[in-house]
Structure formats: structure tokens, C-alpha cells
Amino acid sequence: MTPASEGPAPLRAVAGGDGVVPRLRGDDLLALARACGADDCGLASITDPALREEVPSVTRAFPAARTLLALVGRMHREPVRSPARSVANLEFHSSGHDLDGVARRIVRRLEDSGIRALNPAMAFPMEMDDFPARAWVVSHKRVAEAAGLGRMGLHRSLIHPRFGSFVLLNTVLIAAEVDAPGTPLDVAPCVSCKLCVAACPVGALKPDGAFDFSACLNHNYQQFMGGFANFVEDIAESRSAADYRAKHGYAETVTRWQSLSYGPTYNAAYCIAVCPAGEDVIGPYLADKAGHLRAVVDPLKARTEPVYVVRGSDAAAHAARRFPHKRLRFVRQGARATTVQGFLFGMPLTFQPGRAGALSAVYHFAFTGREAANATVTIRDRRITVAEGHLGRPDLRVTVEGAAWLRFLNREVSLLRLLATGRLRLRGSPRLLAAFGRCFPA
């Protein structure tokens, strides 16, 4: 992605602006993005109902935002497909840096034309103050979908109609309206081959479309984010170098150094690597599906590697069953609750259907203290729902100080101590609380 030698025509306002918020020609903005190096681009309005959840975060970062310019950067396929993860990671980082450069050039051109604009990062850095709550300024995937640049596939990544899954995304927030925002694609590019399901080493992707967020987070992002926080605590808790080495192998420690020095080290992304969707990608797959399996899918499945899973999780069971040649590396949960609302939000993301088994129960949680909150958690048919307030008749009522509950989740105080000191009170069978805990191995 390199800027064109000659820029596009100057940006022109069109009729319809209110005199305060400029109104631009969408075609001019798209021409600008392509001239600055975007492989594809599209436009979405901040008033698009599909972007309703994005508005609070976007306007906190840039209150003047009116239009979202979605950018697509194409990645090279063979590096991403390589079992050599250093090669794949280099492609992710190089393509990401290029796309951030495209966004900066667009903002420069807009600023020179008197149009205010802001370019959040393609990926990192992010707003980590409330991690593991939302850290991104804008969901590039949602914006790209709204702008008609693709649809998310079974693997939860955007599939571009031409480039397939081999894309990275960015968004430029613009303080101007446009005459013609894009519209979503009518047809999803995903071909439902489910090769992403077959290749995932931790079973994060399910054939029925379900997604185990925590399995993906704990493995693919182990070298940074929540995995890094656990790593630091392991160092602090180690009694000696030998004690530390019992927790982290030599190669793993060096890998963390590499992640710090050269950018986040992703452990997998096999779901993107094996995806055959997209006009530029699908031809060889349709011509020889068995050959695609041999050349692309099988080498990733056969790779001997550590697989990072929480002990007792669905991911651990999946990896042991489907990939016995890979090395299970048991780790703590990478996403930990730091607030009561974070705990409630995170439950559906860390819930383990396989561990729930035949459990069928309704739980009323009453959190007291600074973060007072009431919630109803229903677990039935290996599914979980979390609702605000106390709904229906509970099988177990849990009353607990919010701060004390968070300390328990973070292994700072035992459940028995909370019960003994009265900070945790149960109305119903304690066995139901134990059954609840089994659904969230940590």
C-alpha cells in the first residue's frame, strides 16, 4: 500500500450542509482513500443503526465525528498461511503498520482541506484503562460491514468479497457528512466450509456458529494482554529462578520478550489462514479441495506447538481429543473481572457449555457496596443468559459484597472465608454454587 504520485481532486462541499458541519461528496472521500493507499474503502454514517453501539466510544474520542471512512488493507496469503508463526506475525504487523500509515495520510489530506478527522489505531495501541472491558475506540469490523466492504464469517473475522479473510481494517473518523454512505452487502462471502472450525487448536469456533471467546483469548493472545498480566504475577509469586522455570519454559519467556520488542506475538489465527472465501482466493480451493487441505489446512493442524488452555475448560478437552500431538499448557484465565459490571458482562464470554452439562438453575445475584447491582443468571440446556434485576424464582440467591466477590475471583480471598465472615450469604443449596463455578474454570 503506497500513496499515489498524484492526489485526488480537491475535496468539495455539496449542498445540504448546515453551515457548521461540512457535507462532502462520498466519491471524493473514497478517491482520497485510494490515492493514499487503501486497497478498498467505504463510508458509513454515525447515525447508521448498525453502529449504535459504537457511538458512545467514537464520540468520546472525537465528538465531532459524523462519517466513518472504512479502510481495507490486503495481506499476502502465503505468509499468513505459513506454519512458521514468525512469518505470519511479520505479515500481520507489516500490513497493520502500512494501514495505519494510510489512515495518517488521509487525515493529513483532510486537515489540509480544512476538514477535521481522527485515525484510531488499526489494532494496538488501545485504550486499556478499563481492560478487559472494551478497549477499542471503534470496531473496524462493524464499520466495514456497514460500509459494504464485507461480512463477518463463522470465524468472526470480516470476509472481503474480493480479498477474502486476508485483510486488515481501519477507520478514519471525519467531522463531515457525506452525500451517499455505503450499504451492507446483500450476500455473505462465507462459503460455510467450516475449515476454520477444523483448524482451530482450542475449539473456539463451533460448527453451529457459537464462539468460545475465552478459548481464543487464552491461546491466541497469551503472550500479551491478560496473559502478560498473569506472567508478571507468576514472576512476583516465584520463590526462585527454578520455581519460575517450573511455570514458564525458556522458549516461552523469550517469546514474551519478542512480543514486547517486535509487536504482539499471535499464536494462531489459523481461522484466517485456512479460509478459502473471496474472489481472489477461492479459485484454487474449488479446483482442488483436497489439495487445499493438504497444502494449507493439514500443516497447521499437524504443527507441534504449545496450546494455552485453562485446566478443566472445554478448550482443554477439545485440544486433548483433537490434537494429542500438541502440548497442553495450562494457564489462568486471560480476562479477569475488575468490576461487578465487568463480571456480569464477561459471564457469557467465559461460560463453558461442556462443563455445564445437565445443570438447570436460576441464580439471583445481589451485589452490595459501591457497585451495588442485582442480576439474574439462568443456566439451562448448556446456555447462559444474564439479565439485569431479579427475575422469576431463583434456585439459589447469592448476596455478596461486590469488592469481596472480585477479590475471590482474583484468588485474593477464599470462598470459605467470605462465608465465614458473612460477606457472602447463600439462600439455597451450596451445591448449586459449586455447579455454577464449574461452568467458569479459571
Q: What is the number of other CB atoms lying within 10 angstroms of the CB of residue 249?
A: 13
Residue 373 lies in a domain: yes
- Measured distance CA(115)–CA(108) in Å, rounded: 9
Burial class (CB in 10 A: 0-12, 13-18, 19+), 246: exposed
In a domain, 3, yes or no: no
Cell digits of residue 53: 453501539
Instruction: Confirm whether 185 is domain-assigned.
Output: no
Smallest Cα–Cα separation from 180: which of 419, 16, 405?
16
Residues 269 and 379 in one domain: no
Do 27 and 159 have their domain in common? Answer: yes
| pLDDT tens profile 151-189 | 999 999 999 999 999 999 999 999 999 999 999 999 999
Give per-residue pLDDT as tens, 32-55. Answer: 999 999 999 999 999 999 999 999
For residues 326 and 344, state if they share a domain. no
- 80 and 105 share a domain? yes
Question: Strand 327-330 to strand 306-309: parallel, antiparallel, or no bridges (unpaired)?
Answer: parallel
Residue 14 lies in a domain: no
When pLDDT is cut at 50, 70 and 90, the band that residue 24 belongs to is: very high
Q: Following DSSP, what letter does each residue of 94-151 receive, concatenated?
A: HHHHHHHHHHHHHHHHHHHTT--EE---SSSS---TTTTS---SS-HHHHHHHTTS-E
42 in a structural domain = yes
What is the pTM for the complete model shown?
0.92
Query: pLDDT digit string (tens) for 8-17?
Result: 556 766 655 5
CB-based contact 22:43 (threshold 8 Å): no
Contact 330, 234 (CB under 8 A): no
Q: Which of 309, 330, 351 is the last residue of a domain?
A: 330
Same domain, 37 and 174: yes
Q: Which pLDDT value is given to residue 317?
A: 97
Question: What is the DSSP pairing of strand 40-45 with strand 306-309?
Answer: unpaired
Indicate if 325 and 344 belong to the same structural domain.
no
Q: Tally the domains of the chain.
A: 3
CA dist 1 and 3 (Å) reads: 7
Whether residues 267 and 168 fall in one domain: no
Domain-ending residue, one of 295, 330, 365: 330
Residues 58 and 132 placed together within one structural domain of the fold: yes
Map 276-333 to HEC letters.
Answer: CCCCCCHHHHHHCHHHHHHHHHHHHHHCCCEEEECCCCHHHHHHHHHCCCCEEEECCC
Q: Is residue 156 part of a domain?
A: yes
**Does residue 34 sit in the same domain as residue 157?**
yes
For residues 314-318, give the mean pLDDT.
Answer: 97
Query: What is the extent of the structural domain holding 433?
Result: 340-438
Q: For residue 377, what is the domain's CATH number? A: 3.30.1050.10
| Residue 335, in any domain of the structure | no
What does the pLDDT average to over 272-283? 98
Among 270, 300, 330, the domain-final residue is 330
